[in-house]
Structure 1
Amino acid sequence: MIGALVVVVHVALAALAVYGVLLTVLNRPPDAWTKRAVGVAVALLVVQAAIAAVQVFGGVTLPETSTFLIYLVVSVCVLPIATQFATAEPSRWGGAVVAVGAIATAVAVWRLQGLWVPGG
């Protein structure tokens, strides 16, 4: 995995979480900007997942490969699902749902970084 990309992903997820909380505080439902922000974060996660998957299937040995791959899939899937829930019935709490999804994704990415021990 690329350390700089992990930092960029964490910053994007933190910004998305703050934005979701801000929407909730301002009593606004998620809007088009929320979907765009989630799209950018998911694009970064897909790039990270593709790079990691190529490295794992290309021969990098990890002590817990299956756990790593599960976290990799989860890191890409959580935000789109949270966004779907947040926008299904627009209310002020949609931003909180996006924020929680962003925080959960950040934890999954943090755990991915901890599981990345090549040669293990």
Structure 2
Amino acid sequence: MNRNLVKNGLIAAAFMNIGGVLVFSRVFTNVAINNADPIVMSNFGLLMIVVWGLTYLGTAFIQSNIKWLIGAFAIEKLVYVVAWVRWISENSLAPLYSQDVFAGAFYSIYGLNDLVFMLFFAWVFLSQHTESPA
């Protein structure tokens, strides 16, 4: 497993979470995102996405075995993918885009973004070998 690839993937995931939330939510002021899914995408929920981004960033610089941490990240992303699939199947993007383009774009892409990183984290998890105790 190429350590630089894993590190760069974690950094990319961090910046997508942190930057994506801050840009699309206009630093937590875009109520259209909150109103479209008030449970998952409340300002608290958006803040927690930023916190997950910070955990990815911190993990990028850990030199020891990160297999189980990466496994937790894959599960976390799976939860967001399922939430997004549920939301996208029960809602229309057109009214959201007409209300706010940033909110429409956010809901159009966040699940796909999480799917890509879920697959990346799952691949890293399955590729890592846990070191045996000496």
TM superposition score normalised by structure 1: 0.46
TM superposition score normalised by structure 2: 0.43
